[in-house]
Amino acid sequence: MDLRELYQEVILDHGKSPRNHRFPERHNREGRGYNPLCGDKIALRLQLDGDTISDVGFVGQGCAISQASCSTMTEAIKGKTVEEAEALFLRFHAMVMGEDGANDDSDSLGKLVVFAGVREFPMRVKCATLGWHTLNHALHEEGGEAKTE
Protein backbone atom coordinates (compact mmCIF):
# COMPACT_ATOMS: atom_id res chain seq x y z
CA MET A 1 0.00 0.00 0.00
CA ASP A 2 1.49 3.35 -0.92
CA LEU A 3 1.31 6.55 1.08
CA ARG A 4 -1.59 7.92 -0.95
CA GLU A 5 -3.77 4.87 -0.28
CA LEU A 6 -2.76 4.87 3.34
CA TYR A 7 -3.68 8.56 3.54
CA GLN A 8 -7.18 7.86 2.16
CA GLU A 9 -7.62 5.02 4.59
CA VAL A 10 -6.53 6.98 7.69
CA ILE A 11 -8.60 10.05 6.76
CA LEU A 12 -11.69 7.92 6.13
CA ASP A 13 -11.23 5.82 9.24
CA HIS A 14 -10.42 8.64 11.69
CA GLY A 15 -12.77 11.10 9.97
CA LYS A 16 -15.68 8.70 10.41
CA SER A 17 -14.81 7.42 13.87
CA PRO A 18 -12.44 9.84 15.58
CA ARG A 19 -10.46 8.50 18.55
CA ASN A 20 -10.64 10.20 21.96
CA HIS A 21 -13.70 12.04 20.71
CA ARG A 22 -14.91 13.09 24.14
CA PHE A 23 -13.76 15.35 26.91
CA PRO A 24 -11.74 13.60 29.63
CA GLU A 25 -13.43 13.59 33.05
CA ARG A 26 -10.31 15.08 34.56
CA HIS A 27 -8.63 17.88 32.72
CA ASN A 28 -6.53 20.87 33.66
CA ARG A 29 -5.72 22.33 30.24
CA GLU A 30 -7.94 23.30 27.39
CA GLY A 31 -7.76 25.02 24.08
CA ARG A 32 -10.00 25.92 21.21
CA GLY A 33 -9.02 26.22 17.59
CA TYR A 34 -10.66 27.62 14.51
CA ASN A 35 -9.61 27.48 10.89
CA PRO A 36 -11.59 30.23 9.14
CA LEU A 37 -10.48 29.13 5.66
CA CYS A 38 -12.33 25.84 5.95
CA GLY A 39 -14.64 26.40 8.93
CA ASP A 40 -13.00 23.69 11.05
CA LYS A 41 -13.49 23.97 14.80
CA ILE A 42 -11.84 22.01 17.57
CA ALA A 43 -12.06 22.07 21.34
CA LEU A 44 -9.34 20.11 23.10
CA ARG A 45 -8.99 19.20 26.75
CA LEU A 46 -6.16 17.41 28.40
CA GLN A 47 -4.98 16.25 31.75
CA LEU A 48 -1.39 17.05 32.65
CA ASP A 49 0.02 15.07 35.56
CA GLY A 50 3.39 16.57 36.24
CA ASP A 51 4.90 16.71 32.81
CA THR A 52 2.90 13.85 31.30
CA ILE A 53 -0.20 14.13 29.15
CA SER A 54 -2.15 11.38 30.88
CA ASP A 55 -5.43 11.97 29.08
CA VAL A 56 -6.63 13.95 26.12
CA GLY A 57 -9.86 14.30 24.19
CA PHE A 58 -11.50 16.62 21.71
CA VAL A 59 -14.78 17.51 20.13
CA GLY A 60 -15.00 19.29 16.85
CA GLN A 61 -16.64 19.80 13.54
CA GLY A 62 -15.26 20.43 10.13
CA CYS A 63 -13.69 18.60 7.25
CA ALA A 64 -12.49 15.02 7.49
CA ILE A 65 -8.83 16.06 7.35
CA SER A 66 -9.08 18.38 10.35
CA GLN A 67 -10.96 15.82 12.43
CA ALA A 68 -8.78 12.89 11.36
CA SER A 69 -5.62 14.85 12.07
CA CYS A 70 -6.80 15.82 15.54
CA SER A 71 -7.83 12.21 16.18
CA THR A 72 -4.43 10.80 15.19
CA MET A 73 -2.76 13.55 17.22
CA THR A 74 -4.59 12.56 20.41
CA GLU A 75 -3.48 8.96 19.88
CA ALA A 76 0.09 10.08 19.29
CA ILE A 77 0.45 12.37 22.33
CA LYS A 78 -1.41 10.41 24.99
CA GLY A 79 1.08 9.25 27.60
CA LYS A 80 3.83 11.45 26.22
CA THR A 81 5.58 14.25 28.05
CA VAL A 82 4.94 17.86 27.05
CA GLU A 83 8.45 18.00 25.64
CA GLU A 84 7.90 14.88 23.52
CA ALA A 85 4.55 16.17 22.26
CA GLU A 86 6.10 19.50 21.28
CA ALA A 87 8.96 17.75 19.48
CA LEU A 88 6.36 15.71 17.59
CA PHE A 89 4.51 18.89 16.63
CA LEU A 90 7.70 20.41 15.23
CA ARG A 91 8.41 17.29 13.16
CA PHE A 92 4.81 17.09 11.97
CA HIS A 93 4.81 20.77 11.06
CA ALA A 94 8.09 20.48 9.14
CA MET A 95 6.68 17.51 7.25
CA VAL A 96 3.41 19.11 6.15
CA MET A 97 5.21 22.34 5.27
CA GLY A 98 7.58 20.29 3.10
CA GLU A 99 10.67 21.64 4.81
CA ASP A 100 14.01 20.26 3.69
CA GLY A 101 15.08 17.13 5.46
CA ALA A 102 11.69 16.59 7.10
CA ASN A 103 11.24 13.24 5.38
CA ASP A 104 14.47 11.89 6.81
CA ASP A 105 12.73 11.78 10.14
CA SER A 106 9.45 10.22 9.02
CA ASP A 107 9.92 7.01 11.05
CA SER A 108 9.47 8.85 14.31
CA LEU A 109 6.05 10.13 13.20
CA GLY A 110 4.39 6.74 12.89
CA LYS A 111 0.88 6.96 11.46
CA LEU A 112 1.10 10.75 11.31
CA VAL A 113 3.33 10.39 8.27
CA VAL A 114 0.28 9.92 6.01
CA PHE A 115 -0.41 13.66 6.33
CA ALA A 116 2.71 14.37 4.29
CA GLY A 117 0.35 14.37 1.28
CA VAL A 118 -1.29 17.66 2.32
CA ARG A 119 1.87 19.66 1.58
CA GLU A 120 0.73 19.87 -2.04
CA PHE A 121 -2.43 21.67 -0.91
CA PRO A 122 -1.69 24.78 1.20
CA MET A 123 -5.35 25.14 2.21
CA ARG A 124 -5.29 21.60 3.56
CA VAL A 125 -2.12 22.20 5.56
CA LYS A 126 -4.21 24.46 7.81
CA CYS A 127 -6.80 21.71 8.27
CA ALA A 128 -4.10 19.18 9.15
CA THR A 129 -2.31 21.43 11.64
CA LEU A 130 -5.37 22.89 13.41
CA GLY A 131 -5.39 20.23 16.14
CA TRP A 132 -1.69 20.71 16.76
CA HIS A 133 -1.96 24.49 17.01
CA THR A 134 -4.81 23.98 19.45
CA LEU A 135 -2.64 21.62 21.50
CA ASN A 136 0.14 24.18 21.61
CA HIS A 137 -2.37 26.75 22.76
CA ALA A 138 -3.73 24.47 25.48
CA LEU A 139 -0.27 23.62 26.79
CA HIS A 140 0.73 27.23 27.09
CA GLU A 141 -2.50 28.42 28.64
CA GLU A 142 -3.00 31.32 26.32
CA GLY A 143 -6.45 32.83 26.32
CA GLY A 144 -8.73 32.94 23.32
CA GLU A 145 -8.62 30.76 20.30
CA ALA A 146 -5.78 29.18 18.31
CA LYS A 147 -5.66 30.27 14.71
CA THR A 148 -4.09 28.44 11.84
CA GLU A 149 -2.23 31.55 10.75
Among 18, 40, 68, 146, binds Zn ion (CB under 5 A): 40
Q: How many residues does the chain have?
A: 149
Among 6, 38, 48, 59, binds Zn ion (CB under 5 A): 38
Q: Work out how close the CB of 128 gets to Zn ion at its nearest, in angstroms, rounded to a whole number.
A: 8
Task: Number of residues interacting with Zn ion: please give it, by CB under 5 A.
Answer: 5
Dihedral pair phi/psi, residue 147, rounded to 5°: -115, 160
Q: Work out how close the CB of 102 gets to Zn ion at its nearest, in angstroms, rounded to a whole number.
A: 22
Number of C-beta neighbours around residue 122 at 10 A: 12
Do 49 and 43 touch, CB atoms closer than 8 A?
no
Cβ-based nearer residue to Zn ion, 63 or 118: 63
| Amino acid at residue number 110 | G
| Interaction of residue 146 with Zn ion, rule CB under 5 A | no
Residues that bind Zn ion (CB under 5 A): 38, 40, 63, 66, 127
